């Protein structure tokens, strides 16, 4: 059981705005006219397309095969026809394109054949493979593949379910805990068995009394040590390291994981997806999304992955003065560059923003070094120092001040009296460092390829020279062992100092041999005077050939100066 709660340093208490959508139960969103399913559900989870345009698919059928260790499978969210496989914009601040499968629903919702999966009979490794094939990832926002996280689970003592949902406006996890608490606890029990955890702790912010009551009621039927704990509503108490600190007192340093200290943390939505994967054999093809903000009908909807945002928004009826839309919360979310982007597994909320609810940022002013940002930082950093280094592009110094410890929660920017967009500077610095590391890696790879190419060319030259030298030596040996009866012996060619000289000497020797082998023809019927004249000519030719052969080494040496 939990004896006491601990505190993490910093944090803020922004207006929660939970009441706008918390009272709305989860309702299924209607089928859209088309589904644009990204084959890359996050920067980590990638898959290879398995379908072609014109192909009919069933709900839950695999359309993407996992690639790499971090890859997870992607499935058809409904039955229908594949109409396109191509690039479409992704729900990302950059609006970059990613490869997607576009499906036209047939309205029948026909499932592929699926059945429950017994994780106890299958064993740990097959169970993790099943999660990968079901496309289960973390639904708290990071979308880290669950099979990879569970694979690191040796030596885990405590499993934490994260139901804090500290970000303002978002209530999808709140409603999930209220309505599907038994399924969440059943998924948590499976997770605990897979990692061998001794105890289970469920952390929920104290501003969700209905969720706390529902989870406590469901936890009563779970074997083993289980505790449902109300944690103070302080942003960002839902951060993994912050929640671990509050519930266990363990502080996870940068570069380490909770598993290194015997703790694993999963979102309640992830636990629910795990339950569906094992109890029903269903892959992850939908998730709960909160629609809120400047709308007439805020609510929570079960939305198919791949639903275009512009077909989802009419359910909430945004008001006319809405000027932009945010995906995620106001602290860590981002403005959508366009509305035809699809819902992904990381999409937990879409906020309709208006100037009244979200005033435009005030002009940035000079830092006055008040230190408010440092007092609010939950990672215990010096945000103003990081700001100066990032602004000056002194990235080495920024890393010395633990830039990558920053979780980009936005607390520093929220309290800054100078209205400096501090998180934007940190994101810029991180992206520049990553870009330089990629460039350095590419340059190192290019240098290695160039050095190997030079090595290969030098090796080929040496091998070729050795072959030529061996061939020349073989030619000289054949000439030296020739029939002496056909020609007078000639002085052997001196050993060449290199392959080129050896080739020249061998060529001269062959020419000399050919000359000496020439015999006069048709001399039988000639007069004696004519035959005597021919004999004199042959004698002179042999004498000249012998003199030329004796001089050839010197000629070869003159032709190849050192």
According to the model, what pLDDT value does residue 1 have?
57
Q: Examine the domain organization and report whether 421 and 504 are in the same domain.
A: no
Q: Examine the domain organization and report whether 405 and 338 are in the same domain.
A: no
**Residue that has been written with the tokens 């602004």 in this structure:** 391
pLDDT tens-digit map of 112-171: 999 999 999 999 999 999 999 999 999 988 889 999 999 876 689 999 999 999 999 999
CA distance 42 to 36: 15
CA distance 240 to 43: 19
Residue 562 has pLDDT above 90, yes or no: no
Please report which helix (H) or strand (E) contains residue 328, including its range.
none
Residue 290 has pLDDT above 70, yes or no: yes
101 close to 50: Cβ distance less than 8 angstroms: no
Look at residue 489 and tell me if it is in a domain: no
Look at residue 269 and tell me if it is in a domain: yes
How confident is residue 253, by pLDDT bands cut at 50, 70 and 90? confident
- Three-state secondary structure along 475-502? HHHHHHCCCCCCCCCCCCCCCCCCHHHH
Domain boundary among 310, 327, 353: 353
Ranges 216-230, 286-300, 518-532: which has the least confidence: 518-532
Look at residue 487 and tell me if it is in a domain: no
Q: Examine the domain organization and report whether 197 and 337 are in the same domain.
A: yes
Look at residue 3 and tell me if it is in a domain: no
CATH of the domain at 476: 1.10.1060
Domain boundary among 324, 353, 382: 353
Q: Examine the domain organization and report whether 319 and 298 are in the same domain.
A: yes
99 close to 85: Cβ distance less than 8 angstroms: yes
Q: Examine the domain organization and report whether 412 and 317 are in the same domain.
A: no
**More confident site: 304 or 93:** 304
According to the model, what pLDDT value does residue 151 have?
86
Q: Examine the domain organization and report whether 224 and 336 are in the same domain.
A: yes
Ranges 14-28, 264-278, 442-456: which has the least confidence: 442-456
3-state SS assignment for residue 470: helix
Rounded mean pLDDT of 480-484?
A: 65
Ranges 26-35, 104-113, 211-220, 436-445: which has the least confidence: 436-445
CATH of the domain at 92: 3.40.50.11540
Q: Examine the domain organization and report whether 474 and 500 are in the same domain.
A: no
288 close to 301: Cβ distance less than 8 angstroms: yes
236: preceding bond cis by omega (within 30 degrees): yes
Which one, of 271, 4, 261, 228, lies nearest residue 157 by Cα?
261
Q: Examine the domain organization and report whether 371 and 342 are in the same domain.
A: no
351 close to 293: Cβ distance less than 8 angstroms: yes
Domain containing 118 equals: 19-353
Look at residue 9 and tell me if it is in a domain: no
Q: Examine the domain organization and report whether 330 and 378 are in the same domain.
A: no
Which one, of 72, 68, 187, lies nearest residue 119 by Cα?
187
Q: Examine the domain organization and report whether 459 and 514 are in the same domain.
A: no
Domain count of the fold of the chain: 3
CA distance 553 to 549: 8
Look at residue 251 and tell me if it is in a domain: yes
**More confident site: 189 or 499:** 189
Please report which helix (H) or strand (E) contains residue 395, including its range.
helix 395-400
How confident is residue 233, by pLDDT bands cut at 50, 70 and 90? very high
Look at residue 7 and tell me if it is in a domain: no
CA distance 462 to 473: 16
131 close to 150: Cβ distance less than 8 angstroms: yes
Look at residue 14 and tell me if it is in a domain: no
pTM (predicted TM-score) = 0.79
According to the model, what pLDDT value does residue 308 have?
97
Q: Examine the domain organization and report whether 313 and 370 are in the same domain.
A: no
């Amino acid at each position: 059981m939990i004896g006491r709660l601990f505190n993490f340093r910093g944090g803020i208490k922004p207006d929660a705005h939970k009441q706008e959508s918390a009272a709305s139960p989860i309702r299924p969103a209607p089928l859209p006219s088309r589904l644009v399913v990204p084959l890359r559900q996050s920067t980590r989870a990638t898959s290879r397309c398995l379908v072609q345009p014109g192909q009919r698919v069933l709900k839950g059928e695999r359309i993407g095969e996992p690639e790499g260790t971090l890859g997870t499978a992607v499935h058809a969210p409904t039955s229908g026809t594949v109409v396109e496989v191509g690039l479409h914009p992704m729900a990302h601040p950059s609006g970059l394109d990613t490869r997607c499968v576009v499906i036209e629903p047939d309205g029948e919702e026909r499932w592929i054949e699926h059945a429950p999966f017994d994780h106890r009979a299958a064993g740990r490794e097959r169970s993790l493979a099943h999660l990968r094939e079901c496309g289960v990832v973390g639904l708290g926002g990071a979308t880290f593949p669950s099979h990879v996280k569970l694979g690191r689970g040796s030596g885990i003592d405590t499993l934490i379910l994260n139901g804090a949902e500290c970000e303002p406006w978002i209530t999808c996890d709140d409603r999930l805990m209220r309505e599907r608490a038994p399924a969440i606890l059943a998924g948590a029990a499976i997770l605990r068995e897979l990692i061998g955890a001794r105890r289970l702790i469920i952390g929920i912010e104290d501003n969700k009394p209905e969720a706390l009551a529902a989870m406590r009621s469901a936890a009563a039927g779970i074997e083993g040590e289980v505790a449902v704990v109300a944690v103070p509503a302080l942003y960002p108490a839902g951060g993994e390291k912050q929640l671990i600190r509050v519930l266990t007192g363990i502080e996870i340093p940068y570069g380490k994981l909770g598993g290194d200290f015997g703790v694993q943390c999963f979102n309640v939505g992830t636990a629910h997806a795990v339950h569906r994967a094992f109890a029903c054999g269903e892959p992850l093809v939908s998730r709960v999304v909160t629609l809120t903000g400047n709308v007439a009908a805020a609510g929570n909807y079960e939305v198919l992955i791949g639903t275009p945002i512009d077909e989802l928004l009419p359910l909430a009826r945004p008001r006319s003065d809405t000027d932009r839309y945010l995906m995620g919360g106001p602290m860590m979310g981002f403005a959508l560059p366009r509305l035809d982007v699809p819902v992904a597994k990381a999409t937990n909320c879409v906020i309709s923003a208006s100037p009244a609810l979200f005033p435009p940022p005030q002009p940035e002013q000079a830092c006055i070094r008040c230190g408010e940002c440092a007092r609010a930082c939950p990672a215990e950093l010096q945000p103003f120092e990081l700001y100066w280094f990032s602004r000056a592009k002194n990235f080495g110094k920024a890393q010395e001040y633990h830039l990558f410890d920053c979780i980009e929660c936005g607390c520093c920017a929220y309290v800054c009296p100078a209205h400096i967009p501090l998180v934007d500077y940190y994101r810029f610095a991180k992206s520049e460092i990553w870009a330089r590391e990629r460039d350095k890696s590419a340059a190192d790879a290019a240098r290695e390829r160039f050095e190997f190419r030079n090595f290969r060319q030098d090796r080929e030259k040496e091998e070729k020279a050795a072959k030529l030298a061996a061939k020349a030596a073989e030619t000289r040996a054949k000439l030296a062992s020739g029939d002496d009866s056909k020609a007078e012996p000639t002085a052997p060619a001196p050993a060449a100092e290199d392959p080129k000289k050896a080739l020249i000497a061998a060529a001269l020797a062959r020419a000399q041999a050919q000359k000496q082998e020439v015999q006069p023809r048709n001399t039988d019927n000639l007069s004696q005077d004519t035959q005597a004249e021919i004999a004199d000519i042959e004698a002179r030719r042999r004498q000249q050939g012998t003199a030329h052969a004796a001089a050839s080494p010197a000629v070869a040496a003159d032709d190849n100066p050192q």
